[in-house]
Structure 1
Amino acid sequence: MEIPVGVDVICGTEVCGRSKYLVINPVNDQVTHLVVAEKAFPHAQHLVPLDTVQSSTATSTRLRCSASELAGMDAFIPSDYLDPVDLEAITPYSESVLLWPYGIHGNPQELADAAHVPSGEVLIRRGSRVVASDGKIGKVDEFLINPLNDQISHIVLREGHLWGPKDVTIPVSQIKRIDDGVVHLKMNKDTVAGLPGTPIKRKWK
């Protein structure tokens, strides 16, 4: 099924909005969500899971939900996603595509001693502050995904942290808790600095 962007979106028997973007998982190149802007002002935008799409044509997309159910879906936050048009390298993605999984949606909760982060259960955003047991160390820049189970295995710190331009990858098993979008680690700064490097494969580099 081809899903067009920039066409009317139908809920039941009425036009309830307009499609704006497709969200793609760059790990497997699969579409995960459709971004729909409500028809009514102020045209709030929502993330619509792919399985909610019933059918589509070149001029419209029909959803398996009502307009009120669309209004209750997760809000679309552009800063959670990577726009491939802004990348220096040529990418296979068009300007109507945004890249997942830079936004991980769900209900915030403590990780405690969890060995991994199940997809959709923890709210971590690109730019979230990272704090070691003895102070701030940087911000989340990327997530590493295990291709065997599509679960987050590491967070990558943004350039400009305490250790210069190198990638600093931290296993999610070392996350103690997440409070108000701040990632607290079990490790101190020295332990983080001594972590071995993890090879990162990027399509845009």
Structure 2
Amino acid sequence: MENRIRWGAKAISSDGKDLGKVIRVVIHPKNNEVTHLVIEKGIFNRVAKLVPIATVFFAAPDEIRLRIESKDVETLQDYEETFFVTGEEIENLESGVTPVYWLRPVGDYAELYPLPPLNTSINVPKDSKSLEPGCDIVTAEEKIVGRVKSFVLNDEGKITHLIGECGGFGSRSKKLIPIDWVEEIDECKVRVSASSVMVEKLPEMD
């Protein structure tokens, strides 16, 4: 049996509560195994949590159900962690960090105070990739032919196919792309070994 999951699918706890929506997928590229889903809830104070794929007991395109009670969601690991960077750590960072500022009202004027620089870490398993929604599908000849819309999992939690929306304006169609065609997975790009002609010849999905 295969399960199709798409970005934006609603995540429901074991006690029937809305936990948010699926915003990313964490994949181990060596075996095409999905290790985690990233769910996010909120508008202004949004928090993204890493959900182990083993906790998913039901999956449909628009909804997944988890073996997690709503009260236990806070114990899940955050997808991102933002932290202040000390002077010594700044020197050791390979890439620069940008300080942020906050306004402190003083009398009738607001003064600008710098905060220590911030850095952000992504809490995904080592060697895994975080795949974002709508990432480009790039063919062997470096041509962008569409975007990934969702994916298909088997019962072992491994991706068997990507579902891509391919074509130009007015002629878009959904294609079922075998995972064996995928050569590289990046956060915003999936590179396949097939040519654009081969992708075009894939049967269209309903």
Structures share fold, TM-score greater than 0.5: no
Q: Structure 1-normalised TM-score?
A: 0.44
Query: More strand by proportion, 1 or 2?
Result: 2
Higher relative contact order (CA 8 A, sep 6+): 2
Q: Answer with 1 or 2: which has the greater Rg.
A: 2
